[in-house]
Structure 1
Amino acid sequence: MSNDRYDHDGFELVFAAPAPGDAPDVVVVRRSALTGPGGHPVYLDATGIVCAEISDRGEARMLATGAHQRLTRPVRVRRAHPLREREPALGQDAGRGRRGGAGAARPAVREGVPTG
């Protein structure tokens, strides 16, 4: 997905950990030119799969981008930190999307789909 679809306004969607002891999944989304059904801006991750309408109060409404998608509500929505967005994914094995063990010191931050 090209970067021209985004402005500099971004959020981190924090999803519950898939298993006890695992770090929560965090997906970085950026504001798009779209508006959601509630009239608020629509935010997308780099793949265009994770899509959320986020209000000015930080309330997220997940929007389906595919026919068989199961939507999961994030447990927290926070403004994206510019330095954190550039960090490599934590708790993944060579980019293959496998999660690390329970020893992760902080949540994995990545642009993509929450695993689990």
Structure 2
Amino acid sequence: MNLSKNNKRASGGILAEYHHLAFDYLHKKLENSRDNPCSYHPIRNSFWKTIPSGNYTPDEGITFMNDYLDCLETQIAKIISKNSIAYWIHLLRRIACILVIGIEVKPL
């Protein structure tokens, strides 16, 4: 498949964003792996191994999810702290993250 920078088309003629192909590749790789797709990440595994299997109340579930979120945020902080603020600002500007809700907005 030949994709130019300004004309990214996936098979079937659907216009694809830059990340669609990467996520498609990731999902296909996970589907084709012999590993259980729910247990492939060591951070996820190490956290959920500490939670005994069973039925929990919604409040307990919320507590578990908040604890998992704290665990993920700690790991993300370790990763992003390795780069400078200037790096992350540059990356943010290159990606041009914007929120579009029903109106046309031109990237900065």
TM-score of the aligned structures, taking structure 2 as reference length: 0.17
Answer 1 or 2: which has greater helix percent: 2
Answer 1 or 2: which has greater strand percent: 1
Structure 1 or 2, whichever has the larger Rg, is: 2
